[in-house]
Structure formats: C-alpha cells, structure tokens
Structure 1
Amino acid sequence: MTTNPSAMRSLRVLVADDNPLNLRLAARLLRDMGHSGVLVTDGHKTLEALQAQRFDVVLLDVTMPGMDGIEALALLRQREAGLRHTPVIMVTAYDMPEDRRRLLEAGADGYVAKPLDGQRLAAELARVVK
C-alpha cells in the first residue's frame, strides 16, 4: 500500500538549518504541502524550540555551527527518554548509504538529501509521521 503524501494532515514542523536559502526553500515546500514551519539556525535553538513548543516533526540539518544536528539529536533523544517521541528527519548534502546508516543509528527517524525536493520530502514526512 502506498502512502499519499497530499492526504496527510497539516503538520507543525521545526526546521533547523544555518543556511538562509535552505530555510526559505524548506518553508516554501512545507507551506505548499499545507504544513506550518518554525525556522531556527542551529542546534541550540532547535533544543530551545523543542522545549518551548510541541512539533509533529523536526527537519534537522546535520552540519551547523555551534551545535550540529547529530549532537542536537543525541540531546533530544536523551531528554525525551520515556516521554513522547518526536520524529526527526535529518537533512544533509551527503547522500551515501553509510551516511544514511550513521544518521539512523544516531536516532534519526528519516533522512533527506539536499537540495530538498518536494516529492522526496513529502514522502519522508508521510513515512515518519504516523
């Protein structure tokens, strides 16, 4: 059975990326899919936003200054131990099988490669958000 991404409910998405162009692209793609996005620029702001608000899913860039996505993901998973699980889709320019495996082993629920593509993003959102 194939999931139809366009039939998905509207999601609140936290988007973390240090590149303003990537943030704008993600925001536009999410808006076009009927989702709302909150944009942050590093791992510290990601964790602050997750502590202050509830999100259906997080799009988390792997490489950011200060605190990168892998470190932010590890801290998120520690914080939520025994609590509500927040799906995290890692976003990276590196698209090799070993990169995907490493991110999933680190606790990510999904993975999309840059540059973001609307169809791939919609399919991954539908896959990880149940």
Structure 2
Amino acid sequence: MGELQILLAEDNKLNQLMIRKVVEDFGFALDIVETGREAVDKLAKQHYDLILMDVHMPEMDGYTATKYIRENMGKKSNIPIIVVTSPSDRKEHIQSLLLGANTFISKPIDPEELFTEITTLVIKNTVWN
C-alpha cells in the first residue's frame, strides 16, 4: 500500500498529539490543520489518501467541511473521510454520515479500530476509483 498521506483536522492539541503518535506508529504520514477551512484549503493543494475530521472546530466545523468536500472538490470529492467524535453522541454520528463521511470513530481513539478503518477505506477507494 505504500506510505499513506493522511490529513487530520483537529483543533485540540492533546488529541493532535495522541492521533499523531498512533498514525505515525502505523507508518503513515500525517499533516495537521486546526479548522475545517484549513482542511479544505490543504486538500485543494495536496494529495491525501484519507481525512480524519473532528466535528467541533472553529471557523468551519467538520460537518461543513465534509459537505463542502463532497460537493465542491471535483476528483478529490471522493476522498475517504473518517469523522472523529465524542463516544456517546449518536446524533453526531448520524449527521456525519448524512453529510458524506464514510464512517466515524469515537474518542479516545482505539488504535486497532483506527488502523482497520483507514486501511479498509483506502483499499475500497483505490478499487472503486
């Protein structure tokens, strides 16, 4: 599969550090932005294999960024997006999927679950596109 390029949109510094550790331990490359707007801008300029998208961020939240990517990014609109949410908010999970996220995982991140979701989505995206 090679080194995957992953974009993390997350404004919480502690969550950034924890997710960076997990993702880099997998051998994947990670770029971090702190708003949905920065995620959209970064995706427009660079190639990524997958986005990890927090829901609650300043400037542009994860819902809006996901919807924007799906509707306005041309060939990049089909990039796999995993929304990272609080564990108990089913409404967030459902809303994320309705706006175009492929799946969601709950914080705190379970490394095995994250690895499985990333690799499954990237393989599916490669096969279907």
Superposition misfits of 4+ residues, deviation over 3 angstroms: 94-99
2:103 corresponds to which of 74, 88, 110: 110
Cα deviation, residue 98, structure 1: 4.2
Whole-Å separation in 2 of the counterparts to 1:10 and 1:95: 32
Matching residue of 2:24: 31
Matching residue of 2:81: 88
| 2:15 is the alignment partner of 1:22 | yes
Whole-Å separation in 2 of the counterparts to 1:101 and 1:18: 22
Output the TM-score relative to the length of structure 2: 0.87
Unpaired segments ≥5 residues, structure 1: 1-7
Amino acid at match of 2:114: L
Secondary structure at the counterpart of residue 115 of structure 1: coil
Secondary structure at the counterpart of residue 129 of structure 1: helix
1:41 corresponds to which of 34, 37, 48: 34
Matched-pair contact (CA < 8 Å) for 1:110–1:128: no
Cα deviation, residue 94, structure 1: 4.0
Unpaired segments ≥5 residues, structure 2: 124-129
Cα deviation, residue 96, structure 1: 4.3
Matching residue of 2:121: 128
1:70 corresponds to which of 60, 63, 72: 63
Matched-pair contact (CA < 8 Å) for 1:104–1:110: yes
Secondary structure at the counterpart of residue 15 of structure 1: strand
Matching residue of 2:126: none
Matched-pair contact (CA < 8 Å) for 2:9–2:32: yes
Amino acid at match of 1:10: E
Task: Pick the structure with more helix per residue.
Answer: 2
Q: Percent identity?
A: 31
Structure 1 vs Structure 2 CA RMSD: 1.5
Using CA pairs under 8 Å that are at least 6 residues apart, name the structure with larger relative contact order, 1 or 2: 1
